Amino acid sequence: MNKKIVRSGLRLAICLLLLFWVFNTIFLNEGRSAWGTRSPAWDELTRWDQWKVGWQLGPPQLWQSLTTVTPVPLFGSFLIMGSIIFTGAARWLIALRTQGLRLPWERALRISLVAHFFNSFLLGSTGGDLVKAYYAARETAHQKTEAVVTVFVDRVIGLWTMLLFAGLMVLPNLGLLHGHDRLRLLAIVVIATLFAGTGFVGLAFWGGLTRQWRGARDWLRRLPKGEWIERSLVSCREFGRNRHFFLRMMLVSMVINILCVAQYVILAHGLSIMVPLSVWLLIVPTIICIAALPITPSGLGVRENLYVVILASAPFFVAETSALTISLLAYAGSLAWSLIGGIVYLFLKDREHLEEFTGPQEI
């Protein structure tokens, strides 16, 4: 009983500390915006003074941003964000079952919510995958590597499919890219990353190097954690040998991509931001992919600046405050689900064994 109390207290402390980190980052950004051109300049303030201004001006500034949109689009954004998390959990289950690991839907959803909670403060927008991998490894006694690899595969295919989605959306927006230097640069980065990612995905799932390069397996075994790396590669090859796996993962990922765009479209409608749907289909996945880089916690700041840079310039001329607001409102929907994930984390059992099947796999 005492151990449970201590464990629950520790989890509560972690939750509160992480939430403080997230809100402090948001309030500092909002406080900086509210400070404007006052004297002294924001960068000349001490760190302590910035914190005081942030917590004094940040909350009302954030509330003002959130209340610029009517409740219906805001609630719609919240529901869509939840649908993204639910669909992502379903995609992870496909990877688990392909490896012969059976995890109940409810357990997969709880772990996904906890991972989403940790995404709110870890670098990039994929940091929660480390937490998901940790729980996946704890679920099984004999297939820890395979369980962890499912998280890696789920994220790799998800990001690659989003890059593919953004790359395809370049075609109907070629005319726009011709006159929008910054968006064109982002599109070039996405296409280059797509080509590199395609090569990586091909090698990860179908291989070829070890067949062409004699002694490659021996070299891998001599690396630190070489046996784990080799077993991970073998696990990835299992996914590649399943003819239907990749197609199913891509289809589910495309649904997630469309939901991500829908969240911004409904918020843009609520903010009266007039941007064509074809443009949202390009910029939303593009910015999500770039924000996934481990630069800031949850991509906060990177994502907001990109929306301001793209939407505030020609030919859109969206007010900078509106461009910033739509990004913050989308993040608010994500943060609301992070709070739910934090509550789930408080009561999540440390371990529930996956059923490990040694017989024929049911795909």
**How many domains, in total, are found in the chain?**
2
What letter does residue 353 receive in the DSSP assignment?
A: P
- Residue type at position 95: A
How far is the first Cα of the chain from the last one, in angstroms, to the nearest whole number?
41
Q: What is the pLDDT of residues 148-168, one digit of tens each?
A: 888 888 988 999 999 999 999
| pLDDT at residue 298, as a whole number | 66
- Where do the DSSP E strands lie in 48-192? 101-102
Residue whose entry in the numeric block shows the structure tokens 């630190």: 224
Pairing of strands 101-102, 355-356: antiparallel
Per-residue confidence at 14, pLDDT binned at 50, 70, 90? low
Residue 80's SS3 state is helix
Length of the chain measured in residues: 363
Q: Do 214 and 131 belong together in one domain?
A: yes
- Residue type at position 171: L
For residues 260 and 288, the answer to whether their CB atoms sit within 8 Å is yes
355 sits in which H/E element: strand 355-356
89 sits in which H/E element: helix 71-98
Alpha-carbon distance values, 292 to 106, 123, 227, 297, 327 (Å): 26, 8, 29, 10, 15
Q: Do 175 and 228 belong together in one domain?
A: yes
Which residues constitute the domain of residue 52?
1-34+43-63
Q: Do 158 and 199 belong together in one domain?
A: yes
| pLDDT at residue 137, as a whole number | 79
For residues 41 and 71, the answer to whether their CB atoms sit within 8 Å is no
Q: Do 55 and 107 belong together in one domain?
A: no
Q: Over range 99-107, report the average pLDDT.
A: 84
Q: Do 195 and 137 belong together in one domain?
A: yes
Question: 224 preceded by cis ω (within 30°)?
Answer: no
The verdict on residue 360 lying in a domain is: no
Is the pLDDT at 341 greater than 60? The verdict is: yes
For residues 179 and 315, the answer to whether their CB atoms sit within 8 Å is yes
The verdict on residue 345 lying in a domain is: yes
Q: Do 201 and 346 belong together in one domain?
A: yes
Q: Do 55 and 128 belong together in one domain?
A: no
The verdict on residue 70 lying in a domain is: no
| pLDDT at residue 361, as a whole number | 41
| pLDDT at residue 360, as a whole number | 41
For residues 286 and 186, the answer to whether their CB atoms sit within 8 Å is yes
Q: How far apart are CA 180 and CA 316, in angstroms?
A: 10
Residue 137's SS3 state is helix
Residue, of 329 and 217, whose pLDDT is higher: 329
For 356, phi then psi, to 5°, come to -105, 120
Q: How far apart are CA 172 and CA 284, in angstroms?
A: 15
Residue, of 128 and 202, whose pLDDT is higher: 202
Is the pLDDT at 83 greater than 80? The verdict is: yes
| pLDDT at residue 284, as a whole number | 94
| pLDDT at residue 158, as a whole number | 92
Q: Do 178 and 324 belong together in one domain?
A: yes
| pLDDT at residue 53, as a whole number | 86
Q: Do 146 and 180 belong together in one domain?
A: yes
| pLDDT at residue 7, as a whole number | 66
The verdict on residue 362 lying in a domain is: no
Instruction: Report percent pLDDT > 70 for the chain.
Output: 78
| pLDDT at residue 241, as a whole number | 79
β partners of residue 101: 356
pLDDT-wise least confident of 191-195, 265-269, 300-304, 359-363: 359-363
The verdict on residue 79 lying in a domain is: no
Q: Do 119 and 160 belong together in one domain?
A: yes
Q: What is the pLDDT of residues 198-236, one digit of tens each?
A: 988 887 777 655 555 555 555 455 555 555 566 666 677
Q: What is the pLDDT of residues 25-71, one digit of tens each?
A: 777 877 877 787 788 888 888 888 888 888 888 788 777 766 778 88
Q: How far apart are CA 139 and CA 249, in angstroms?
A: 22
The verdict on residue 317 lying in a domain is: yes
Is the pLDDT at 186 greater than 50? The verdict is: yes
Per-residue confidence at 195, pLDDT binned at 50, 70, 90? very high
Q: Over range 329-334, report the average pLDDT.
A: 88
The verdict on residue 80 lying in a domain is: no
For residues 101 and 146, the answer to whether their CB atoms sit within 8 Å is yes
For residues 159 and 291, the answer to whether their CB atoms sit within 8 Å is no
Q: Over range 76-105, report the average pLDDT.
A: 91
Is the pLDDT at 193 greater than 80? The verdict is: yes
Neighbours of 126 (CB within 10 A): 20
CA angle centred on 7, ends 341 and 335, rounded to 5°? 15
- Residues whose CB is less than 8 angstroms from the CB of residue 242 and which lie 6 or more positions away in sequence, other chains included: 98, 363
Is the pLDDT at 359 greater than 60? The verdict is: no
Q: How far apart are CA 247 and CA 194, in angstroms?
A: 18
**Burial, 255: exposed, middle or buried (Cβ in 10 Å; 0-12, 13-18, 19+)?**
middle
The verdict on residue 274 lying in a domain is: yes
Long-range contacts of 268-272 (CB under 8 A, 24+ apart): 268/326, 269/73, 270/69, 270/70, 270/72, 270/73, 270/74, 271/68, 271/69, 271/73, 271/322, 271/325, 271/326, 271/329
Q: Do 232 and 105 belong together in one domain?
A: yes
Q: Do 48 and 109 belong together in one domain?
A: no
